[in-house]
Chain A
Amino acid sequence: MTEHTSSTTAPAPGGARPAGGPSLFAPAPGAAPMWRMVGAQAGMELRVMLRHGEQFLLTMVIPVLLLVGFSLTSVLDVGEGSRVDALTPGVLALAVMSTSFTGLAIGTGFERRYGVLKRLGATPLSRFGLLAAKTLAVLGVQTIQIAVLCAVALGLGWNPALSLGGVAAAIALVLLATAAFSSLALLMAGTLRAEATLAAANLVYILLLGLGGVLFPITAFPPALATMASALPITALSSGLRALLTDGSLPSLGAFAVLTVWALVCGVLAARLFRWE
């Protein structure tokens, strides 16, 4: 090593060099840290979901209208007791389903159709990262939905039976139901055409809205239908939430079991059958 190299005049380092400088495109490949990719993708998914008109109608407007409409009028027979107390758990369940099932299925179906999933597959974001981002976005929308619906319900005089354990159990139910609905959504979106997913997701939404104990408990159904309905994920969620929030009792283990089975079966099928393009 010589000591004289410092006397050479070097161009000033740093700063923008309009001409002759290193190119903007000089290769410098490398993936960002996983958490940053997932965070950015989740933010994108969340914004696209909230901005989407029909999705907003499905996830926010309809649940709020059902809650307000049936609480303030006596069109629907909700049995004895406060109307809003009877309605809120079911509407919360509906809101969860609208995001983690209907919204996710339709959104993912069209992303697949427009080559978005394929294009994302060529980025450093892994499939696991994409799934994590979608999950975070769904949970984000659900948090907003639940906050809005609880605020509206409280405004209507909702008086939930609350305990610390009850809140924990409710959160566990919602998370488990989200897993079940999301798996079913991805199973449909990853195997059917986008239009078929759109039709089927809306049909299933309506069917589950009617059969799933959303607006009134399934105990009002004929016994055979009630047994069938109790195996649906929406019923498990709505009856579980109703037990917790209206009756102040712990939901049956059956509700957890139903949701777990749906999540596992659909999850395994989706992992095996999902087509990225």
Chain B
Amino acid sequence: MDTAAVEVVDLVKRYGATTAVSGLTFRARRGAVTALLGPNGAGKTSTIEICEGFRRADGGRVRVLGMDPVTDAGALKPRVGVMPQSGGVPTGARAAEWLRLMASFHASPVPPDLLLERLGLTSVGRTPFRRLSGGQQQRLSLACAVIGRPELVFLDEPTAGLDPQARIATWDLVSELREAGVAVILTTHHMEEAERLADHVVIIDRGEVVAEGTPAELAGGRREVCFSTSSPIDTDTLRAALPAGSRISSAHGVGGRREYVIGTDDPAALGPGFLATVTAWCASADVLAEDLRVRRRTLEDVFLELTGRELRES
């Protein structure tokens, strides 16, 4: 029987008149990395904190390792690691002694000194928490989440405020957790992070799931043709030349230039012949398409399409 690491069905959470989570549903597999991706205020942290048992849901059903996060909290705590978005450590506690304390709560923890070394915290082991840099505090918090060798960890924005080296160290650790068979649920608004780490991405906006799938599925393996011109082109005749289901969007580029992106509803339609059609139209219309390229859509494109309404329409 393969129960999910986390199963959330029709989850609702309200704070007074505000609905933070409205009917959220997703499933996180064991031994896989699931990323909850969404803009600030999308309901990611509320969802995670309900799964952690910190908050109660106003509706819907949540199962963590097949159990109820509130009523089975005692049984779940040894099996689940938690990294909050910030804080959680007394300001006067030293990094290493706090990690050792966390280790002492568990039956067979990761050796604390080894973990400190892995996360580059050995040299600040005797430094009080309040004097650690933001990135060091984040890494200590991450270490505390995994020290008990849990089956499942929740990481709430694990790389927020990290420099590139620390971010890569965190990514490596998350990959290692997955290889070891640990289920990881993380929130992020870094597309690159979700794309690199996650087996499954759940895009959340305004408390609802707007899309989910593997990063490749979400990006759809879709390609698009991009180019820029020094003056506007006649998009109507271009569209007429292209196969049905093609879309052209334009934007103002630097120095009064125009930038065009051509996509298709049918991914298979965008092949070598499609590119030839575009360049043939350019030749007939006497348009020099500069910076012409065919590129793969990224998760970021999908994300902005789904959640970036305000910015796009302005």
Q: Contact mask B62-94 → A, CB, 8 Å, 1/0?
A: 000000000000100111101010111111110
Q: Contact mask B143-176 → A, CB, 8 Å, 1/0?
A: 0101011110000000000000000000000001
Cβ-based interface call for A274 (8 A): no
From residue 190 to 211 of chain A, which have CB atoms closer than 8 A to chain B? none
- Closest residue to A52 on the B side, CB-wise? B92
CA distance A15 to B234 in the complex (A): 71
Q: Do A29 and B151 touch (CB < 8 A)?
A: yes
Cβ-based interface call for A143 (8 A): no
From residue 88 to 138 of chain B, which have CB atoms closer than 8 A to chain A? 88-93, 97-98, 100-102, 104-108, 110, 114-115, 118
Q: Do A114 and B105 touch (CB < 8 A)?
A: no
Taking CB atoms, residues of chain A closer than 8 Å to B150 are: 27, 29
From residue 73 to 128 of chain A, which have CB atoms closer than 8 A to chain B? 110-111, 114-116, 118-119, 121-126
- Closest residue to A44 on the B side, CB-wise? B101
Q: How far is the CB of A270 from chain B (nearest CB, A)?
A: 20
Q: Do A36 and B108 touch (CB < 8 A)?
A: no
- Closest residue to B108 on the A side, CB-wise? A28
Q: How far is the CB of B188 from chain A (nearest CB, A)?
A: 20
Taking CB atoms, residues of chain B closer than 8 Å to A253 are: none
Indicate which residue in B89, B101, B107, B181 contacts A41 across the interface (CB closer than 8 Å): B101
Q: How many B residues are at the interface, by size bracket?
A: 35 or more
Stretch at the interface among A2-10, A18-26, A146-154: A18-26
Q: Do B105 and A125 touch (CB < 8 A)?
A: yes
Q: Do A24 and B106 touch (CB < 8 A)?
A: no
CA distance A124 to B109 in the complex (A): 13
CA distance A119 to B148 in the complex (A): 14
Q: Do A116 and B89 touch (CB < 8 A)?
A: yes
Taking CB atoms, residues of chain B closer than 8 Å to A47 are: 97
Q: How far is the CB of B195 from chain A (nearest CB, A)?
A: 23
Cβ-based interface call for A51 (8 A): yes
CA distance A32 to B144 in the complex (A): 15
Indicate which residue in A52, A119, A121 contacts B87 across the interface (CB closer than 8 Å): A119
Cβ-based interface call for A48 (8 A): yes
Q: Do B105 and A25 touch (CB < 8 A)?
A: no
Taking CB atoms, residues of chain A closer than 8 Å to B115 are: 24
Cβ-based interface call for A31 (8 A): yes
> Contacts A27-B149, A37-B105, A52-B92 hold; do A122 and B54 have CB atoms under 8 A apart?
yes
Q: Do B87 and A114 touch (CB < 8 A)?
A: yes
- Closest residue to A43 on the B side, CB-wise? B101
Taking CB atoms, residues of chain B closer than 8 Å to A57 are: none
Cβ-based interface call for B203 (8 A): no
Q: Do B149 and A29 touch (CB < 8 A)?
A: yes
Taking CB atoms, residues of chain A closer than 8 Å to B54 are: 118, 121-122, 277
Q: Do B79 and A29 touch (CB < 8 A)?
A: yes
> Contacts A23-B180, A27-B150, A28-B107 hold; do A124 and B77 have CB atoms under 8 A apart?
yes
Q: How far is the CB of A276 from chain B (nearest CB, A)?
A: 9
Q: Contact mask A229-242 → B, CB, 8 Å, 1/0?
A: 00000000000000
Taking CB atoms, residues of chain B closer than 8 Å to A37 are: 104-105
Q: Which residue numbers of B lie inside 8 Å of A, CB to CB?
A: 52-54, 74, 77-80, 82, 84, 86-93, 97-98, 100-102, 104-108, 110, 114-115, 118, 144, 146, 148-151, 176-177, 179-182
Q: List 8 A-B contacts (CB under 8 A).
A: A24-B114, A25-B149, A26-B181, A27-B150, A30-B106, A36-B104, A110-B91, A114-B91
Q: Which residue numbers of A lie inside 8 Å of B, CB to CB?
A: 23-32, 36-37, 40-41, 44, 47-48, 51-52, 110-111, 114-116, 118-119, 121-126, 277
12 extra A-B contacts, CB within 8 A, seeds A24-B176, A26-B180:
A23-B179, A23-B180, A25-B180, A27-B182, A30-B78, A30-B107, A31-B77, A37-B105, A115-B84, A119-B144, A122-B52, A122-B53
